[in-house]
Structure 1
Amino acid sequence: MSTTSSSQRPPARRGPGGGGPFAGQMPAEKSLAFGPSAKRLLRRLLPERAKIALVVLLAIGSVLFSVLGPRLLGDGTNLIVAGAFSKNLPSGETQAQVIQSMRARGQGQLADLFSGMHLTPGVGIDFLALSHILMLVLTLYVAGSVFSWLQSYLLNGVVQRTVFRFRADVEEKIHRLPLAYFDKTPRGELLSRVTNDIDNVSQTLQQTMSQLLTSLLTVVGVLVMMFVVSPLLAVIALVTIPLTILITTVIAKRSQKLFVAQWSHTGALNAQVEEAFTGHALVKVFGRHREVEERFRQKNQELYEASFGAQFVSGIIMPSMMFVGNLVYVAIAVVGGLRVASGAMQIGDVQAFIQYSRQFTQPLTQLGSMANLLQSGVASAERVFEVLDAEEQSQDPADPVRLGPTEGRLAFDDVSFRYVADKPLIDGLSLVAEPGQTVAIVGPTGAGKTTLVNLMMRFYEVDSGRITLDGVDIASLSRLDLRSRMGMVLQDTWLFAGTIRDNIAYGRPTATDDEIVAAAKATYVDRFVRSLPDGYDTVLDDEGSNVSAGEKQLLTIARAFLNRPSVLILDEATSSVDTRTELLVQQAMSALRQGRTSFVIAHRLSTIRDADLILVMEAGTIVEQGTHLSLLAAGGAYYSLYNAQFAGAVAEE
């Protein structure tokens, strides 16, 4: 066995939360490209295009029925007004004769008014025709409501299925990301992106799609009807459109950056809260709760200022649009009244046009008010897209080698690796671990011990050289196949919310109860599980807080025992157990290691005295190798480490 190697340790790695409770601030988010991100978000709706087409048809029908209503009601008003005036006119005369008589009597203004109506002198209101109009209007409004309900129902399904796929894509992406991504990304920030931001995208699509479609169709439909009723008044109403575009554009540009900052600060605050809660006991022990509270106050203040600014600036859009709409409404009322007085229009037409003006300005106002929702949703989508666009781990081979039963011979052949391109860590390292051999790796913190394990598991890929399992390059295997042959027990225990039985069987879901109990007995888990009220059916929370740290470690060891891998990796696996339990676990590990290659990373040298081979690492280099006794006799680095742990204790006694 030989070794050559590097000189520098890797950059400090952060924990799952991206740093301790007192880590520095997160970097600022890059500016949002609204247009491309909005288009990309809309492209995610393409699988639902058939249902979207049906939604559009229903929306067209609903809008068509709603815009016809005011026109028909205006006709009804004309019938009522014309009937009321006709009843008081002398019968037997025509409308032209009545108007001529009025002009002859000097009633020219009233004659102008009557000239714009359809009068039948001596005949009152035609209630039969009026009832027909009202029944038609009622039918149109009912049909429009039904179409609108169906549209909302279908659109809700479209949005929820789209967001469902969005979440699924993010979940799948996370499993394709390399370990390096999680090392540099705070856990709270990542959680904020896959929960808060996706929820915000869902709400944005839900609230804006239906309203946006309906508003646009309403603007078009109402505009057509306004030109039909009165081209002059329609031109006046058109002044609203350029003003709307101008106001929305000016305000949206100012609020966009604020929405990006809002969701950036949301992620930063979540990361800080997650870190503080995870390390709550540590914060209390060191009396740093004041500093944590102050950091929370600062982050909360930053989020408040960004959110307030974003909502305030974007909130100006709607009152501005309402002001413009009211001005147009006044202009239409004045001009329309003058045209009725001149006989150019009927009262019912002006009534219909005023309704249309309201219907016209209302969707424009809604479109303006949706700007803040759209900007917020697209800002969140951009943050999720950054996760989806993150560089993935290298692909498994297209035709991976399929291993049969493995013996567990693991070899490093001239392996070089570095976390940062210009900072070498491991350079030209070679070693061989024979089947059934226990290899212990010791050395100071940052020496590269865990890095070797990460390379074995292909959490990171080697820069050069190769690692082989039974003579086969592990890069030619699928990661799933490789990791199924390896068992790993970490210093940081991980248990999920579920029963003790489920946690032990996590690596082998098909294991029988007898196999689970046998693994628990072999690793001395059974002795404390039997003392629990529900035994193996005891439900653990996601932090495993209802069992001790040592018991959690024993459960993870039992999990590895049940899986019975070809290669076993123990990374400080007994660091959380007491001395008596450690001795019991060592006995269980001796049985587990029989016929299996084992790598043991240890700071407590008492746990690796019986190892077949001990590797002493410093700065990524194996500086010594041998058995416990031979390394002590050599009086080198291992001897110094051993004395540092035990000689002082002996001297104190």
Structure 2
Amino acid sequence: MTQHFTKATSSFAALGRLLRYARGYRRQIIAATACSIINKLFDIAPEILIGIAIDVVVNKEESFVAGLGFETAQEQITILAVLTFFIWAGESLFEYLFQVLWRNLAQRLQSDLRQDAYEHAQRLDMSFFEARSSGQLVATMNDDVNQLERFLDGGANAMIQVLVTVVAVGAVFFVLSPLIALLAFTPIPLIVWGAFYFQRKAGPLYADVREKVGDLSSRLANNLGGIATIKSFTAEQREAERLKASSEAYVEANRQAIRISSAFIPVIRMAILAGFLATFTVGGMMALEGTLNVGAYGVLVFLTQRLLWPLTGLAEVIDLFERAMASTRRILDLLAEPVHVRDEADTPLPEPVRGSVKFNNVSFHYPSSGAGITGISLDVPAGNTLALVGATGSGKSTLIKLLLRFYDPTEGTIQIDDKPIQSVSLKSLRNAIGLVSQDVYLFEGTIRDNLAYGRPGASDEDIIDAARTAEAWSFIEALPNGLDTEVGERGVRLSGGQRQRLSLARALLKNPPILVLDEATSAVDNETEAAIQRSLKRIGHNRTVIMIAHRLSTIVDADTIAVVENGKVVEKGSHQTLLDKNGAYAAQWRGQTGQA
């Protein structure tokens, strides 16, 4: 119970966090709130006018309106008709205004929240993305933001108007008859207690609903992304069952929340009936005895429903509120995720960037697994080629991630042109490095769009030149639409070798002084590997190249080869030097070339 109460009260904490986030919208919030209040005041005024009209009909020249200077009953009815017209017109005007203001606020706020969440996510460390599914993040930035929008579209106004109704109608009641006011207000504590009781029950349930939405989104994203694997293993039925299980979990989470929220109105309805009967009976008796004006009795009867019936809407309002606050917590928690690799330097790398790279006693270990590197020192002069070899998980790719500042080392420094990379801006650092990885990612769009990704606005001449250098132009030229060929999601319409050559061309068009190849030839056929090797011989001149390779035949011309084992450099030298040492590298070479 304590845990449930803590989760429920966190909804109000989430609302406070949302208001702090939205402080730039203070004027719009105040204006929308004011229009909601005025609209509700106009909305309850006709009931008061009906009671006054009854008073005019019954008491004529002795009515309340007569005391304002309108002597005849006809004049009094006329002035009431005029007031009714302006009240209805005012109610309509302010209903239009609050709807426009709240809905525009909802649109603006949801757009800014989604944009801020996405931009913040882009600044987060790679460890954040490695620990979370993309489906959960998409659900947060899309479905959760939309859930908050739905609350602002209608729920916020409903909450305000319920409060205004209680205060305004309560004031009228206490002016006309304090006794009946006490009787009419008797059910309100029960109604409010019921609202908070259901809120405490519903809060954790809706938090669970949001989690189930994320799980379902993640399952869909993973399955659609891996559709080829699913088909190749004829696992369609199995995956359909797994999706059904996730979908049913979402349905069940919603079913529990719906069961709680649906019970609210029937319970509260009986409390409202008690208040209405008290007003109807006691007020009627007082009117018959002459201690209560007949017109006032009419006002009280009509306003009792105005007071109590809107409280049944608390169920729907609380439903919207809990869903929205569960979503708000997830959005704001994402925005609160700390950025460990900070871009705090404004200084760019000195131009022109020569491209020398130094790893000085660098250590780093992943918090989740403890794997990493320890005390690695490497010196790559500008224009030289460094090759990193070693078993999977030995730490080669970790060096590349540290060079790109996807992570920061726990010990030691990394320098480019003798400048520590933490002392230069991230943009300057990453602009100086071109990355070609084993897992090529192409964005949905044309070949031209993907090649120019690192250099928007590049001319077709430069794009074609980079494609020729990467030996990609021959297959691009043969395509019916050439550079305008759509590659599909993640480049699915192209072969693996074609995607790899485009990735290399994309990096070359960026024209970086440092080119990093992370096992760029490990997943391609022999023809593509030979083409990439020819490309590398051309582009390696006057450019620093750092290669990670399993196939030792691709790195025999490297200036320096470093063998990495268990996070440490165990051997270092040229191809021939390492063969002469007859160590780990030589043993691996013999294994790959079939030598005894």
Give the TM-score taking structure 2 as reference length: 0.92
| Paired amino acid for 2:424 | L
Counterpart in the other structure of 2:18: 41
Q: Deviations over 1:214-248 (max 9, x none)?
A: 22112211111222333222211111220112111
Q: Distance in 2 between matches of 1:384 and 1:351?
A: 49
Q: How does 1:301-312 map to 2 (within 5 A)?
A: 301-312=248-259
CA contact (8 A) 2:349 2:419 kept: no
Q: 1:534 corresponds to which letter in structure 2?
A: N
| C-alpha distance in structure 1 between counterparts of 2:434 and 2:103, whole Å | 45
The alpha-carbon deviation at position 466 of structure 1 amounts to 0.8
C-alpha deviation, 1:126, in angstroms: 4.0
- Structure 2 distance, partners of 1:190, 1:373, is 22
* 8 Å CA contact retained: 1:317, 1:369: no
Indicate the residue corresponding to 1:263 in structure 2. Answer: 210
Give the aligned partner of residue 224 of structure 1. 171
Report if aligned partners of 1:67, 1:225 keep a CA contact under 8 Å in 2.
Answer: no
SS in 1 for 2:28: helix
Partner of 1:440: 387
Q: Which residue of structure 2 lines up, in the alignment, with residue 407 of structure 1?
A: 354
Partner of 1:92: none
Q: In structure 1, how many angstroms separate the alpha carbons of the residues matched to 2:514 and 2:437? A: 14
Answering whether residue 371 of structure 2 is matched by residue 371 of structure 1, we say no
Which structure has greater helix proportion?
A: 2
Distance 1:289 1:638 in 2: 44
Aligned-residue Cα RMSD (Å) equals: 2.5
Counterpart of 1:67 (choices 28, 44, 50) is: 44
Q: Assess if the C-alpha contact under 8 Å between 2:47 and 2:303 holds in 1.
A: yes
CA contact (8 A) 2:124 2:339 kept: yes
Given that 2:386 and 2:547 are in contact with CA atoms closer than 8 Å, whether structure 1 keeps it comes out as yes
8 Å CA contact 1:396–1:476 kept in 2: the answer is: no
Counterpart residue number, 1:361:
308
Amino acid in the other structure paired with 1:76: A
Structure-2 change in CA distance of 1:424 and 1:513 (3 Å): closer
Work out the CA distance in 2 between the residues paired with 1:276 and 1:173: 27
Q: Relative to structure 2, which stretch is displaced further, 47-56 or 258-267?
A: 47-56
Q: CA 1:423–1:576 in 2, change beyond 3 Å: closer, same or farther? A: closer
Aligned to 2:277: 330
Q: Gaps spanning 5+ residues in structure 2: where?
A: 1-5, 67-71
Is 2:345–2:422's contact at 8 Å kept on the other side of the alignment?
Answer: no
Equivalent residue, structure 2, for 1:22:
none
Shift of 1:509: 0.9
Deviation at 1:147, TM superposition (A): 1.3
* Aligned: 1:582 with 2:529: yes
Matched-pair contact (CA < 8 Å) for 2:560–2:573: yes
Partner of 2:427: 480
Aligned counterparts of 1:70 and 1:389: Cα–Cα separation in 2: 49
Deviations 1:588-620 (A, max 9, x none): 122111111101111222322322222221111
Aligned equivalents of 2:537 and 2:307: distance in 1? 81
From 623, 635, 640, give the equivalent of 2:587. 640
Aligned to 2:442: 495
C-alpha distance in 2, partners of 1:522/1:401?
29
Is 1:77 the equivalent of 2:54?
A: yes
CA deviations over 1:11-47 (Å, ceiling 9, x no partner): xxxxxxxxxxxxxxxxxxx956223222111222321
Go from structure 1 to structure 2 and tell me whether the alpha carbon gap of 1:332 and 1:136 turns closer, same or farther (over 3 Å shift).
same
Point out the structure with max Rg over C-alpha.
Answer: 1
CA distance in 2, matches of 1:274, 1:424: 29
Structure 1: distance between partners of 2:582 and 2:226: 40
Say how many residue pairs are matched: 585
**Farther-moved stretch of structure 1 (405-414 vs 317-326):** 317-326
Q: Which residue of 2 aligns with 1:234?
A: 181
CA drift of 1:407 comes to: 1.3
Q: Give the Cα separation in 2 of the matches to 1:145 and 1:628.
A: 84
Q: 1:31 & 1:283 partners in 2: Cα distance?
A: 39
Separation in 1 of the partners of 2:531 and 2:584? 29
Q: Which runs of 5+ in 1 are unaligned?
A: 1-29, 87-94, 96-115, 120-124
The code of the aligned residue for 1:193 comes to T
Contact between 1:426 and 1:620, CA under 8 Å: does it hold in 2? Answer: yes
Residue 273 of structure 1: SS of its match in structure 2? helix
The answer to which of 258-267 and 342-351 deviates more is 342-351
Summarize deviations over 1:99-130 as a string: whole Å, max 9, x none: xxxxxxxxxxxxxxxxx9999xxxxx944532
Q: For residue 38 of structure 2, what is the amino acid of its counterpart? A: G
2:195 to 248, 251, 267: 248
Is the partner of 1:493 in helix, strand or coil? coil
Do structure 1's residue 508 and structure 2's residue 485 form an aligned pair?
A: no
SS at match of 2:122: helix
Which residue of 2 is the match for residue 382 of structure 1?
329
- Map of 1:554-573 to 2, 5 A cutoff? 554-573=501-520
Aligned CA distance change for structure 1 residues 267 and 422 (closer, same or farther; 3 Å): closer
- Percentage of identical aligned residues: 32
Decide whether the 8 Å contact of 2:563 with 2:572 is kept in 1. yes
The 3 A distance-change label for structure 1 pair 219 and 118 is closer
The higher-RCO structure (CA 8 Å, 6+ apart) is 1
**Distance between the aligned counterparts of 1:604 and 1:412, measured in 2?**
24
Give the drift of 1:462: 0.7
> Quick one: which of 147, 153, 156 aligns to 1:209?
156
Q: CA deviation at 1:157?
A: 2.1
Cα 1:40–1:552 shift into 2, 3 Å? same
1:461 corresponds to which of 405, 408, 411:
408
